[in-house]
Structure 1
Amino acid sequence: MIKNRYVIGAITLLLAVSIAVLFIVPTFHVQQPASMAKAYKSSVFDQTKVTKVDIELSDKNLASILESPTDEEIVDADVTINGQTVSHVGFRTKGMLSLSSVAAMEDSDRYSWKIDFDYYRSEQTLDGLQKLALNNNFSDASMMREYLSYDLMEEMGVPAPSHSYMYVTINGEEQGLYLGVETLDESFLSQNFTTGDGDLYKPDGTGSDLKWISDDIADYTGLNLKTNTKSSNQSSMINMLDVINNGGKLEEVVDVDEMLRYFAANTALVNLDHYQGDKKHNYYLYEEDGLFSMLPWDYNMAFGGYGAMGGKDRPQVKDTQTKGTTEEGEAEKAQMPGGGKGGMMGMGSSSFINDSAINFSITTPVSGATLEERPLLNALLEDDENRETFNKYLKEIATGFFSEEIITEKVNEITSMITPYVEKDPTKFYTMEDYLKATTGDESIIEFSTQRAESILAQLSGELVVEAETSSDRGGGQEQGQMNPPDDSTGEAQKKGQQPPAGQGGAGPGAGGPPDMGGGMQPPSMDGGPNAQAGAAGSSYSKETLIMIGISLVLLIGAIVFAHFFKRRRSS
C-alpha cells in the first residue's frame, strides 16, 4: 500500500514544478528557430518585385495624425502586406527635419511611416518582423540612395536591415512608392548575431561622438540604450569608450575588421549625415560578449546628398599630374522636391554631381570635425595595419560595386522594376524628368559612383591629393592645409602623440551642409505600447511557455484525481 505521505509528496512536487514553469521559465529568452526568424526576409522584403502595402485606419485617427503630424501620435491600424493582414498595429509618422519639412508643405502629406506590429498585441509579428519603416525617399530623385547603400553594406559583410520597394495605400488612396526597411530591434539582432540578446544603442546627442566624458554612463545622455534597459549596467560601453579614447587593446572591445568594412563603405558612399559628419548620429552600436559592431541606418542622404550644397568648407583638389590647384565653382543651388513645394528651401539637392562629394577625402574621412573628434574612427585608422586594410576595402568597392559595369547593371535592374510605379506615384517629390536625370545620363547616380570610384583609386595611388578646409562642429575657426595620401608616418606620429600634418584633421565637404533630414528618430513611446514587451526580456508568455504551463496543469490535475481515487479505494 502506498502511504499518504508519498502521494502528498508527489502532489507537492508537481505543484512546485508548475509554479516554476509559471514564474521562472518566462524570464528566459527563447530564441526563434532560424527558419522562423528569417521568414520575413523573403516574404516581406522580396526584392524581385514591388510589394503592395495597404493600411486601413479610422477616418478619425487619420485626421488626427494629419492635423499634427510632427507629434508622431501612435494610432491603431490594420496592415495588409502580400495579402496577409495584421490587425491592431501601432501606426505613426516618422522622421526628423524631413517630417517637419513635409508638414510645412501646403500640398503634400507624403510622410514616412512606422508600423509596430506588436505595439498593441504582445509578440504579434508579421512572419517574425516586429517593426517596419516606410521611407518616403525624401531628397532623393533617384529613389535609390538608401536601397543601394544597404546593398553595399550587405556585400561588404556588414549586417544591414532588410529592405525592398513597397507601393503604399492608406484607406484605399495611393500614397506612392516607398522603401520598406526593417527596423533594428530584437528580430534583426537574433538573425544577424550569435545570440542577439546584447545591448543595442542608438546614439544621438551628448556622447554620440563617443568622446570620453567620465566613467559614469549617466553622463552620456545621448547614447540611448534600446535593449536590456532594465538589466544592463552598460559596463561594456564604458570599457569601449575608455579604450578608444585612452588607449588599450582595440580588438578586445570592437569587431575591428567588420568596422573597417563599415567605415570603408560609408566613406565610399560619402554618407555624411552620420557619425563621420557634424551631426554624429544615424548609426547604431551593438554589443555582444563585450565586442561592439556599428550598424547602418538612414541612408537617404548617401551618395553625397548631405554635402551636395557645397559651402565655404569645400575642399580644394590638386591633380599631381598637372600640378594645378583650382577651387570648385559655385555650388549648385538646392532644389526643392516636387519642383517648388513649400518648406524645402535650402535643404538638399537633386543633383549627384558635386566635386566636393566625389572627391571626399579617404585620408581624413570626416566632415565638420577633426578625426580626433571622432575617436572610434581615429582609433581604428591610427593603426598602420588597420589603415592598410581600410584602403584595401575602399579599393575593393571602387573596382567592384562602384565600377561602371556593376553599378550600371544594378541601377538598370532597379529602374526596370520601379519605373512604372514612379510614373503612377501621385505624391512623389520629384518629376519624372528629375527621376530619369538622376538614374541615367551624365548627372546620375551611376555617374557619381563611377567618378567616386575614380577619385578613390586616384587618392589611393597618390595621383589625387585633397586639400581640405577644417571647420569644427563646435563652431571653431578654420584651418587650411593639404591632405596627403596615407603613409606610414601619419599613424606613427599620432601614436607618439605628435600633431598630425596640417589638414590631417580637416573636414570634408558639407561641413556647413543641410540639417539632418533623416527618418531615424524613434520616440520612446513607440518602443513599448500598452501590451508591448519591456526591453529584451519581456514578461509576456511565448507559445512554448503556454504549452509547458498547460502540460504542467494537466499533470497536476491528474495527480489530484489520482490521489482522490486512491483515497477512496483505501477508505472502501
Structure 2
Amino acid sequence: MDLPHFSILISDKQYRKLNRNIWSEKPVEAELQIEDKTFDVDLLYRGNHVREFSKKSYHCIFPEITAGIKEIHYNAEFMDKSLMRNKLSLDFFSSIGVLSPTAKHVLLSINEENQGVYLQLESVDRNFLKRRKLPSGPIYYAENDDANFSLHSPIDEDIKDSFDSGYSRKEGSSRDDKTLQELIYKINTLKKTEFERAILDYINIDKYLRWLAGVVCTQNFDGFIHNYALYRNSFTGLFEMIPWDYDATWGQDINGEEMEFDYIPIEGYNTLTARLLDVPTFRKQYAKIFEEILTYHFNKQNLYEKINVMHNTLRPHVLRDPYVAKFIDDFDREPGIILKFIDDRHHYLRNHLQDLR
C-alpha cells in the first residue's frame, strides 16, 4: 500500500540557517509540495530532546490558512522502533470518545532526498475545532510538568509563580487565563462537598474520565501532567483534555526502553484526578467507563488487526527509510511486543477494577 508523499523544498541558505541553531523557534522560509501543488511555508524543527537525533521532526506553518489548515507537524518517531505508537494512541483515544488530533503515516523528502516514514500530525488550534464543527474556545498547551493541576511544582514542591503556570495559550485571550487560574485555584482549595458540586461548572467530567482511562491504558507516564492540550468549549463553558505526543506508550518509555505493564496504577496521577476519584459518584462513573473500554476497545482481540495492518503497510517503506531500515528486525518484533503489553495490561487493569468500587 502506498503512503502519501510530501516534499519540503528549501534553499541552501535557509537550510544552513535552520541548522545553525536547531533549538531556535524562529522559522526559515521553505516550500511544501503536496502532489502537484507547492505552498510557501515557515519551517522549523520541533520537539525537545528529539531535535538532536539524526532524523529530525518538522513543523510547517502556512502564511495563510490553506485547505482549512494553518500548521502541520511531521514527526520522525525516531525513538519508537514500531513507528506506530503515537498514531495507535491517538486513534485509540478517538475510539473511546476523547477529542484527539488525526495522525497518518506519510513519506517525506527534502530537496528530493528521501527522509523516510513520518507521522503527519494535525495541529490543535482553532482550525482543529472548525473541522469538527465545534464551538470556538481557548486552547492551552501543557508545555511542562507544572501543568499538574496543583498549586505546587512537581519538581521542587515550591508554590508556583502563577496558578496557570505550565500552560501556554494557543487560542483565546487574557480573559480566558483568569478562568483557567480560577479552575486551578478551586481544584486545590474547595472542600470535598463544595468541590463535587463546583467542578461540574468547569470540567466535562465524562470527557475527562475517558481521557484519564486512555492515559492509563496506553500507560503514558508523562500524560497526566504533560502531553495534552486543554480546550474550553465556549457553548458549554467546560474544559476538555486533548492528548498529544504519545510515542512513549504501549509498553515503551521516553527512551525507547521497555516499561513494565503494571507501572501506572488504574487511578492514574495528578491533583485533579485525585480529587475527582475521591468523590464516590465520579469514582463509580470512572469504573463504569473503564469496564466499557476494557470490554470493547482495550484488548488484544480488538487491536490485533489494526496493529498488523499498520505494520504490514509501513514495512516496505521502512526498508527504504535511510534512518531506520537497519532496525528492520526490531521493527518486525514490535507488533508482538505491543500486543503482549496490551494483553498483560488488560488483565492487570481488569483485576484492579475492584479498586475503583
Q: TM-score, normalised by structure 1?
A: 0.57
Match of residue 348 from structure 2:
455
Match of residue 202 from structure 1:
141
Match of residue 126 from structure 1:
66
Match of residue 50 from structure 2:
98
Contact 2:98/2:207 (CA < 8 Å) preserved in 1?
A: yes
Q: 2:251 aligns with which of 278, 292, 304?
A: 304
Question: Which whole-Å CA distance do the structure 2 matches of 1:207 and 1:408 have between them?
Answer: 36
Offset of residue 212 of structure 1: 3.4
Offset of residue 261 of structure 1: 0.5
State the structure with bigger RCO (CA 8 A, min sep 6), 1 or 2: 1
Offset of residue 218 of structure 1: 4.8
Q: Write out aligned runs for 1:433-448 (5 A).
A: 433-439=329-335, 441=336, 444-448=337-341
* 1:272 maps to 2:210: no
Q: Between the two proteins, what is the percent identity of the paired residues?
A: 26
**Structure 2 residues without counterparts, runs of 5 or longer:** 153-159
Give, as a single letter, the amino acid of the residue that structure 2 aligns with 1:166.
V
Match of residue 508 from structure 1:
none
Question: Secondary structure at 1:420's aligned position in 2?
Answer: helix
Give, as a single letter, the amino acid of the residue that structure 1 aligns with 2:265.
S
Question: Secondary structure at 1:379's aligned position in 2?
Answer: helix
Contact 1:236/1:287 (CA < 8 Å) preserved in 2?
A: no
Q: Write out aligned runs for 1:289-300 (5 A).
A: 289=234, 290-300=237-247
Question: Secondary structure at 2:41's aligned position in 1?
Answer: strand
Match of residue 143 from structure 1:
83
Offset of residue 83 of structure 1: 3.1
Question: Which whole-Å CA distance do the structure 2 matches of 1:223 and 1:429 have between them?
Answer: 38
Q: Structure 1 residues 296-305 or 423-432, which shifts more?
A: 423-432
Contact 2:73/2:121 (CA < 8 Å) preserved in 1?
A: yes
Offset of residue 55 of structure 1: 0.7
Give, as a single letter, the amino acid of the residue that structure 2 aligns with 1:62.
Y
Question: Which whole-Å CA distance do the structure 2 matches of 1:267 and 1:450 have between them?
Answer: 14
Give, as a single letter, the amino acid of the residue that structure 1 aligns with 2:147.
S
Match of residue 75 from structure 1:
28
Give, as a single letter, the amino acid of the residue that structure 1 aligns with 2:27.
I
Give, as a single letter, the amino acid of the residue that structure 2 aligns with 1:254.
I
Deviation string 1:88-108 (CA, Å, 9 cap, x unpaired) is 2111111101213x1xxxxx2
Question: Which whole-Å CA distance do the structure 2 matches of 1:162 and 1:348 have between them?
Answer: 23
Question: Secondary structure at 2:170's aligned position in 1?
Answer: coil
Q: Write out aligned runs for 1:350-429 (5 A).
A: 351=258, 354=259, 356-358=260-262, 360-362=264-266, 364-366=267-269, 374-428=270-324
Consecutive aligned runs of 4 or more in structure 1 exceeding 4 Å deviation: 216-219
Deviation string 1:295-342 (CA, Å, 9 cap, x unpaired) is 1111011113227xxxxxxxxxxxxxxxxxxxxxxxxxxxxxxxxxxx
Question: Which whole-Å CA distance do the structure 1 matches of 2:45 and 2:67 have between them?
Answer: 23
Question: Which whole-Å CA distance do the structure 2 matches of 1:422 and 1:194 have between them?
Answer: 37
Give, as a single letter, the amino acid of the residue that structure 1 aligns with 2:210.
R
Contact 1:210/1:241 (CA < 8 Å) preserved in 2?
A: yes
Question: Secondary structure at 2:166's aligned position in 1?
Answer: coil
Question: Which whole-Å CA distance do the structure 2 matches of 1:72 and 1:429 have between them?
Answer: 30
Match of residue 155 from structure 2:
none
Offset of residue 394 of structure 1: 2.3
Question: Which whole-Å CA distance do the structure 2 matches of 1:433 and 1:235 have between them?
Answer: 52
From the two aligned structures, give the one with the greater strand fraction. 2
Alpha carbons of structure 1 residues 233 and 139: separation in structure 2 relative to 1, 3 Å = closer
Question: Secondary structure at 2:66's aligned position in 1?
Answer: coil
Q: How many residues align?
A: 342
RMSD value over aligned CA atoms? 2.2
Alpha carbons of structure 1 residues 206 and 145: separation in structure 2 relative to 1, 3 Å = closer
Give, as a single letter, the amino acid of the residue that structure 2 aligns with 1:286.
Y
Question: Secondary structure at 1:125's aligned position in 2?
Answer: strand
Question: Which whole-Å CA distance do the structure 2 matches of 1:152 and 1:207 have between them?
Answer: 26
Which has more radius of gyration?
A: 1
* 1:348 maps to 2:251: no
